[in-house]
Amino acid sequence: MITVNAEKEFLRKSLFEFLRMKFPDYISNGILKLDVINDNLDNWYIFLKLDDNEFIDSFVYKNNRNIHFEIKRRIFDKFSTNCEFDKSYGILTGVRPSKLSAKIFSKNSLEKSIEFLDKEYRIPVRDSKFLYEIFINQHRCKDTFSKENYNIYVNIPFCPSRCSYCSFDTAIYNKQKATKYVNSLLDEISMYENNFSGVPHSIYIGGGTPSILEVSDLEKILKLLQNKFGIPKEFTVECGRIDTLSISLLEMLKSYSVNRISLNPQSFNEKVVNDLNRNSNIDIQKWFDIAKKIGFDIINMDLILGLPGEEIYSILESVKKAIEIAPDNITIHTLALKNGSKLYENGYINKYDYKNLLDKTKLMMKGSGYQPYYMYRQKKSVMNSENIGYSLPNKNSIYNIVMMDEVENILGFGAGASTKILDKNDKFLRNVNTKNLTEYINMRG
């Protein structure tokens, strides 16, 4: 069991998350107890008990705002030599290490940045070099990002079935409910008073599975977006489940200038996919060819490493198969076991060394011409899993960079969608719509 005692709530939460990530086995086994005491001057005392190991430390620290970093550094250093734990990304626990490191890379040489990231955050050199690669690949992208730009996210929280690993707030498609939802969404979009000028940098219709909607319902949304905001440079509609596709749907999307879609196999192992409560991926090459013929510039494919029933060779086979199809983007996720998913509730336990698997896939992807251009870590997942977006040169997704590295404004529409607007001090003002579908519909009904 992990217990943290500290006077300030932010400190308690931050240290708990750090210990949870570094010593996950202690969530259910053993004793890991941390007491932090401050004498209201600048003197700090740490008492840490890890089973039979005890660590006591006292020090003077004046910058109380950053005290959590100092305590984590001290614990990290103490246990680095005599204890096995995951050192990836050092003491950072957040979702976006690439956002933080980009600020450092943009002002310093690589050598100086690596030194700084080690000194301040204990980030291993290999992780810093990977973050640098992402930084460089984002900058190689022809797009320029600006704080004046805005982007649009529209959430469609309906799916054909519930995948066993999924914890998102989505409902099984029901025509009546979906039509009511679309009406509420149209109302929200049309009532929005847009203070930004020009067209959005990108629009992303995600979920859920937007392609499950009736073509005419989806078309109403695209028509309104086009009339109200104009045509963006990048326009994505997720079509993750190929069992929802039809030629008329793809042609309609194309006619509204959608230029990026997602077809998500998750795995190419048919038995694994069926056991997830998803339909077959056998026709994915066929749909990929049709979509390319219709003219979608960028096609993304999502994969998840470590699904139940996979073995290392079959996971790597899936990556190989995706590379053979050669979509413009491949997003490699590592399975996160989250509250609200069937797998988590059934007590499924990960058995893979993700670091090792990710290293292997990084080599395969790079060897095939794919560049990592964004990454994020899954918060509150049982393993500290990492997701990496790869793209062929000049095919980076604008929206994914904006979303992960928080470089531009985002207007969110639909249940659970969040709006993030940068204020004068470069801080985001956030507003999140209710996740409750019925509540969302009734608010605008």
Ligand X SMILES: C[S@@+](CC[C@H](N)C(=O)[O-])C[C@H]1O[C@@H](n2cnc3c(N)ncnc32)[C@H](O)[C@@H]1O
Footprint (CB under 6 A) of ligand X, residues 339-358: 341
| CA atoms 354, 332, 97, 428: torsion sign | negative
Contact 397, 232 (CB under 8 A): no
Could you tell me where the beta strands, DSSP code E, fall in 298-427? Answer: 298-305, 329-334, 371-377, 386-391, 409-413, 418-422
165 touches ligand X (CB under 6 A): yes
**Cα 122 to Cα 21: distance, rounded to the nearest angstrom:** 15
CB count in 10 Å sphere of residue 198: 11
Question: What's the CA angle centered on 153, arms 150 and 154, to 5 degrees?
Answer: 140
Choice between 22 and 241, CB closer to ligand SF4:
241
Chain residues 189-208 in contact with ligand SF4, contact rule CB under 6 A: 207-208
CB of 169 to ligand SF4, least distance (A): 9
Distance in angstroms (rounded) separating the CA atoms of residues 166 and 298: 25
Q: Which does 238 bind (CB under 5 to 8 A by kind): ligand X, ligand SF4, none?
A: ligand X
Q: Which residue is at the shortest CB distance from ligand X?
A: 240
* Helix count and strand count (H, E) for the chain: 15, 17
x/- map, 256-285, ligand X, by CB under 6 A: --------x-x-------------------
Closest to ligand SF4 by CB, 137 or 400: 400
User: Of 242, 336, 320, which Cα lies nearest the Cα of 284?
Assistant: 242
Angle of the 437-444 helix axis to the 175-191 helix axis, nearest 10: 60
126 φ, ψ (degrees, to nearest 5): -65, -35
Note whether 233 binds ligand SF4 by CB under 6 A. Answer: no
Q: Is residue 341 a contact point for ligand SF4 (CB under 6 A)? A: no
Q: CA dist 278 to 94, 265, 275, Å?
A: 31, 9, 7
User: CB of 304: closest distance to ligand SF4 in angstroms?
Assistant: 9
Q: In the set 72, 201, 260, 333, which binds ligand X (CB under 6 A)?
A: 333
**Residue 162's binding partner out of ligand X, ligand SF4, none, with CB under 5 to 8 Å set by partner kind:** ligand SF4
Site mask, ligand SF4, residues 146-175, x = CB under 6 A? -------------x--xx--x-x-x-----
Residue 302 in contact with ligand X, rule: CB under 6 A: yes
Q: Copy the structure tokens of residue 219.
A: 């078309």
> Is residue 342 at the binding interface for ligand SF4, with CB under 6 A as the rule?
no
Contact stretch for ligand X (CB under 6 A) within 113-121, 172-180, 237-245, 360-368: 237-245
Instruction: Pick one of 12, 338, 360, 362: the residue that binds ligand X (CB under 6 A).
Output: 338
Listed as own residue / partner, the contacts of 268-271 with beta carbons closer than 8 Å and 24 or more positions apart are: 268/317, 268/318, 268/321, 268/322, 269/307, 269/309, 269/310, 269/314, 269/317, 269/318, 271/309
Cβ at position 444, least distance to ligand X in Å: 23
The verdict on 373 binding ligand X (CB under 6 A) reads no
What is the nearest approach in angstroms of ligand X to the Cβ of residue 344? 8
With CB cut-offs between 5 and 8 Å by kind, which of ligand X, ligand SF4, none does residue 335 bind? ligand X
Instruction: Report d(CA 63, CA 133) in Å as an integer.
Output: 32
- Residue 412 lies near ligand X (rule: CB under 6 A): no
Residue 327 lies near ligand X (rule: CB under 6 A) = no
Its sign, for the CA torsion 119, 123, 127, 131, is negative
Query: Ramachandran region of residue 269, left (φ > 0), alpha (ψ -120 to 50) or beta?
Result: beta
Binding site for ligand SF4 (CB under 6 A): 159, 162-163, 166, 168, 170, 207-209, 240-241
Q: Which residues contact ligand X (rule: CB under 6 A)?
A: 165-168, 207-209, 238, 240-241, 264, 266, 302, 304, 333, 335-336, 338, 341
